[in-house]
């Protein structure tokens, strides 16, 4: 049996392993997807482990999506443009980085908001935020404001993309049609917290949280109370995971089976 592991922390909220393993069973693929709690300091050793014969690659999540680039042999053009990787594929002994977050995010929001000409506010400037900002601007967003508790990250992201501006507070939220939480605040140890003052939100806005467990973070609960259209990161996880499977196996992912597994998890099955 070949292996894939997810490198990141925290992982207790992740549904990825059940979703991915259900897909491999449906596909009759002899693959196993597992979790490896791993921060930046532990990343080099775990990347070495992925180079072993029993692995075909790995997935990468917070806080490693940018740091992992240092250990890869090649980058897909979109991955290089974004500046972060969530998917590593072994090909002929080389580790090649891809980013499936961008297209997964866009597929998830496309039914809910027309990005063209809109202004967005993104809280967080890590790997997933870079993917989100990149695809929003590529698909015609007018402007994206970005903030982060570490302003060096926000400034770096803004410097990488035209029409992206780093700001130190969330005041610009009031000027935006879309508000995105890609900070991780609201999940894990920060459940019940929101990075946005609800007074800055209004009913005309679309609010997205990359988190999906809990299904409604405090940010989304506040937005819903304001009358905003809201969406969590579950569909993003589904679509980006399907793209990952196709990269790792070269076969079309069983999206319907993956969605059913996510529904079963959410219903407690």
Q: What residue ranges do the domains of the chain occupy?
A: 2-99+235-266, 103-232
**Residues carrying an active site annotation:** 65
CB 257 within 8 A of CB 264: no
Q: Bridge partners of 37?
A: 8
Backbone angles phi, psi at 145, to 5 degrees: -90, 145
* pLDDT tens, residue by residue, 230-253: 999 999 999 999 999 999 999 999
The class level of CATH for 2-99+235-266 reads alpha beta
Give yes or no on whether 2-99+235-266 and 103-232 have one common fold. Answer: yes
Q: Are 245 and 2 in contact (CB under 8 A)?
A: no
Query: Which residue ranges of the chain lie beneath pLDDT 70?
Result: none
Q: The whole model's pTM is what?
A: 0.93
Structure tokens, 238? 């589904």
Q: 3-class DSSP state for residue 116? A: coil
The four Cα atoms 92, 85, 103, 170 give a dihedral, to 10 degrees, of: 180
For 16-60, write each residue's pLDDT tens digit. 999 999 999 999 999 999 999 999 999 999 999 999 999 999 999
The answer to whether 15 and 61 are in contact (CB under 8 A) is: no
Q: Do residues 188 and 12 touch, judged by C-beta distance below 8 A?
A: yes
Element containing residue 23 per DSSP (H, E): helix 16-27
Q: 64, 103, 104: which is closest to 84 by C-alpha?
A: 64
pLDDT at position 212 is 93
Class of the domain covering 103-232: alpha beta
Pairing status of strand 2-8 against strand 119-123: unpaired
For the record, the structure tokens of 22 come out as 């259900």
**What pLDDT is stored for residue 219 in this prediction?**
98
Q: Quote the pLDDT of residue 42.
A: 98
Q: Label residue 140 exposed, middle or buried (CB < 10 Å: 0-12, 13-18, 19+).
A: exposed
pLDDT at res. 188: 87
């Amino acid at each position: 049996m070949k292996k894939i592991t997810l490198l990141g922390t925290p992982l207790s909220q992740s549904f990825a392993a059940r979703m991915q393993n259900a897909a491999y069973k449906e596909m009759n693929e002899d693959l196993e997807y597992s979790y490896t709690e791993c921060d930046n300091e532990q990343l080099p050793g775990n990347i070495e482990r992925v180079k072993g014969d029993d692995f075909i690659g790995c997935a990468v999540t917070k806080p490693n999506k940018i740091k992992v680039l240092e250990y890869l042999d090649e980058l897909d053009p979109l991955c290089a443009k974004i500046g972060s990787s969530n998917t590593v594929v072994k090909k002929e002994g080389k580790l090649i980085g891809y980013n499936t977050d961008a297209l997964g995010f866009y597929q998830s929001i496309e039914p809910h908001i027309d990005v063209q000409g809109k202004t967005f506010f993104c809280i967080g400037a890590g790997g997933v935020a870079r993917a989100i900002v990149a695809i929003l601007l590529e698909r015609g967003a007018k402007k994206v404001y970005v903030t982060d508790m570490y302003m060096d990250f926000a400034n770096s992201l803004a410097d990488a993309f035209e029409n992206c501006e780093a700001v130190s507070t969330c005041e610009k939220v009031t000027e935006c049609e879309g508000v995105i939480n890609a900070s991780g605040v609201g999940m894990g140890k920060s459940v019940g917290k929101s990075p946005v003052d609800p007074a800055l939100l209004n009913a005309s806005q679309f609010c997205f949280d990359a988190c999906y467990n809990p299904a409604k973070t405090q940010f989304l609960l506040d937005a819903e109370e304001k009358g905003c259209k809201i969406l969590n990161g579950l569909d993003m996880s589904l679509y980006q995971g399907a793209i990952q499977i196709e990269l790792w196996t070269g076969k079309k992912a069983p999206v319907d089976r993956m969605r059913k597994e996510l529904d079963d998890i959410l219903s407690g099955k």
